[in-house]
Amino acid sequence: MHSPRAGSIEEKVAHLDELLADVDEVDVHDFQQRFDMSWIYHDSALEGVVYGFPDLNAALDAKVVSDSSLLPAYDEIRQHKAAIDLVRELGEKKRLPLDLDAVRKIYGALAPDEVEQSKGKVQYRKDMPVHRVYFHDIAAVDKIAPGMIALFKWIEEEKKAKTHPVRLAAKAHHKILSISPFPKHSGKVARLFMNLMLLRQGYPPAVIHATERQRYYEALKSNPNAVATLVHEALVSSVESSIRHFEDLNAARASA
């Protein structure tokens, strides 16, 4: 049996893929649902919003919410899940380009009401926010649109330079957050787009743990390399955890 800690990230992902090939689709689906709930929990915690797992379960349940005071939080959870589902869907459509339209679609899933109010158009932020979750420098309003266009030119240049896919995805996420293009959810958009890039390259999502929140903030204020290191660690941890889960599942079934 392989050790989940042995080898490169590519070898770990290959081992995970082997395990997944021998697991029932129902088990894979159940694991993915739990993974996505954990994804929402940790990613929201990076934004300073901590949901209890009962709230996450209730929000993602199809039943009508009886307490109207819970609707705003539940809507945000559901929209986050919709954005994750979109990223997984786009991750499988390898012929679709990863471009500005993909970023806009992710934002639209996270903020459908705002897009609807703008008659279907995604609007960039129009001011410098006074209160922000992150305290790194962000682009002036007039630099947002050209910065986003430059982002995708930079991605293509990095691909030609054979930058490692995990490093490229992490640095692209850092660049989006350095622009912070949207009036809200720029952090979620940046991390979701990063994971879309990873999925396209055959990697699972990298979810930065809530306990790494302060380190993440410091990395954003530091440099892209610090962010890339943190993302790589998050990806390795996620893959190793998934390997252990499916190895334990297979072992339990073998002994039954």
Whole-number Å distance between alpha carbons of 186 and 169: 16
Say if residues 13 and 236 touch (Cβ distance below 8 Å): no
Helices 224-255 and 165-179 pack at an angle, to 10 degrees, of 130
Question: Domain 9-255 sits in which CATH superfamily?
Answer: Fido-like domain (1.10.3290.10)
Which pLDDT band holds residue 22 (cuts at 50, 70, 90)?
confident
Type and span of the H or E element at 18: helix 9-21
The pTM of the full predicted model, rounded to 2 decimals, is 0.92
| Percent over 90 (pLDDT), the chain | 71
Which pLDDT band holds residue 131 (cuts at 50, 70, 90)?
low
pLDDT the model gives residue 250: 83
| Percent over 70 (pLDDT), the chain | 93
pLDDT the model gives residue 235: 97
Q: pLDDT tens digits, residue range 138-171? A: 999 999 999 999 999 999 999 999 999 999 999 9
Which pLDDT band holds residue 2 (cuts at 50, 70, 90)?
very low
Mean pLDDT of all residues in the chain?
Answer: 90
pLDDT the model gives residue 46: 94
Tokens read off for 59: 């929000």
Dihedral sign for Cα atoms in the order 108, 111, 114, 117: positive
Q: Is 80 exceeded by the pLDDT of residue 129?
A: no
Q: pLDDT tens digits, residue range 48-97? A: 999 998 889 888 886 666 667 778 889 999 999 999 999 999 999 988 89
Task: Give Cα separations from 253 to 4, 238, 256 (angstroms).
Answer: 19, 23, 5
| Domain ranges within the chain, ordered by starting residue | 9-255
Q: Report which residue type is found at 62.
A: A
Q: Is 70 exceeded by the pLDDT of residue 178?
A: yes
